A and B are shown apart, each in its own frame.
Chain A
């Protein structure tokens, strides 16, 4: 088992005929993901990769193919529409890769999703992967992953790959890896993913990778302290960032003391997490953590 995506994933890609969309859709398929449909309004009836049907609307694609996960690559001005269209069609899991979605749009999307069954990951995220089920729904390089029992959750893209690379190099495999994205307003939070990993019998340990800005890591710490019995290793990056400056991710701005790396590390340490001292020591910290358990 794993979380969110697995053998039963039937993937739909919104924006599949675009440059990014077609590039990544093909790589997801090559990794082993069951890509069942694409959506590009106005291009319904076409086929991509010689076999995947393209539809004009998400609802049509769902009806015809039984798609249950949607991956979004449409440009920022149209991303909110794409997310809401998928939720309207009842797709249970929507992942929005698009970077640069206006915060107001994300706010409206999240308001629309309140009370609905759809889970949104992102926007501005790398997606998620379950190596053991050959299910990749995102833009991460598939080959660095290895099936196993450590769940990874992160706000970042390439830093998640770094973490996975360090784990795989030490022979530590992953159950699922989820990138929740770096925007200030987004769907799935650390706490949401921690709940899933906590309940997943195949996940034995968790790696959490946070960064400066916001209070999401503190919320994660509070949840871990109250609920999580599995060992958690946690890294916070941005210890050298000056206050008030946005470090690439829209959410990575130090505003007030709670946003500081030191405060987040303190909260996670108090929650019983194994705090990873440096980004170079992700793998070694997890190895030591797993060894101390046995």
Chain B
């Protein structure tokens, strides 16, 4: 689960990470008040779950409360399109109004979990303010990685090693060390999957500040972080994906027009690939899960068909725990609930497959039944 910048900063500040002064505003009046508290000069930042806000016009420096209100009025209620949001953009409901800072240096700092090492790692670079992927491509030598043993935590020598690599010396070294430790504590205690501070700035008076912050929390750990779970902003996600997740269905909207419903993530990806190889484009990834029941299948079909760009459907069920007769009944119920039925290709295999096929054949619905993935691909391409 992603947090907004203002939420991420508040969380990190709670662990001792220094952040700029400021407050979040949901109206132009609040933005005025927030800017005036900072003396008028401030930076107004649109709050969306995506990077690239600056280039997209989502970050503006203002010099008065009135100007802050103007910017806030323009941003709040608008849709910000950045290179990370996709063409549909992300809605802005709040702006963060912060003090401006005299920056001496911009650094990059993040923490994430390295699956290969099975450890949290610090990733840092002197090239702050840039996309780390870009730095990785052009100057891989400028990126340092410091794995942390979760059994003993982050040790001072590691902090010194990172500081040295970033050339953080003198007065800034101590606050930098405190910031790094604070990040690690937040990372572990809050089950983060990523903390990214970009840029981490050293000010002209040698202070260390998280000028921007992104925090992502492991969805699977939200059950033990009730307060953070409350911070979820569903407006930043696709409404169909939100609905699907409420029913325990993994759904990702894509650009094509072939709706796919599959049980199991790997087989769902394989099915999308099959569609593409057949010369068509998948409209979604949809994994209904291993132990799905009739209601869940029906809901999945209904959700998928509520996406108007879906003009044909491929259902691929490998019955194991999920029986094909159950899937067939769910399929019919879902089509009824959706109130429309585009061209449909169904491939079923495994437990109770004959019964499942009989149910579909007896439903009166126009469904092409196929036996193999190859036949499914051919049927999709035949349109």
Q: Which residues of A are at the interface with B, using a C-beta cutoff of 8 A?
A: 20, 23, 76-77, 99-108, 110-111, 139-141, 144, 154-162, 165, 182, 184-186, 209, 211-212, 214-216, 219, 235, 237-242, 244-252, 256, 278-281
Contacts and interface: CB of A to CB of B under 8 A. Distances in A.
B320 A251 contact: no
Contacts of B221: 102-105
Nearest to B84: A244
Given A104-B191, A185-B113, A248-B285, A237 B266 contact: yes
B265 A107 contact: no
Contact of A211 (B84, B269, B290, B374): B269
A102 B291 CA distance: 20
B264 interface: yes
B116 A215 contact: yes
Interface of B: 84, 113, 115-116, 118-120, 133, 136, 149-151, 188, 191, 193, 218, 220-221, 223-224, 250, 252, 254, 262-277, 281-282, 285, 287, 290-291, 318-321, 349-351, 372-374, 376-377
A103 B118 CA distance: 9
Nearest to B136: A256
A240 B272 contact: yes
B131 to A, nearest CB: 11
Contacts of B266: 154-160, 182, 209, 211, 237, 248-249
17 contacts: A102-B224, A103-B113, A105-B221, A107-B150, A139-B290, A144-B350, A158-B318, A159-B264, A159-B267, A162-B318, A184-B113, A186-B115, A211-B269, A238-B273, A239-B276, A278-B273, A278-B373
Contacts of A159: 264, 266-267, 269-270
A111 B118 contact: yes
Given A158-B263, A162-B318, A216-B116, A77 B270 contact: no
A252 B188 contact: no
A233 B278 CA distance: 22
A186 B189 CA distance: 20
Contact of B374 (A110, A251, A280): A280
Most chain A CB within a 10 A radius of its CB, from B115, B268, B287: B115
A241 B250 CA distance: 14
Given A141-B350, A216-B115, A237-B269, 14 more contacts: A76-B220, A103-B193, A103-B220, A104-B150, A105-B221, A107-B120, A158-B266, A159-B266, A182-B266, A214-B116, A248-B266, A248-B287, A279-B271, A279-B274
B373 A156 contact: no
B118 A110 contact: yes
A21 B65 CA distance: 62
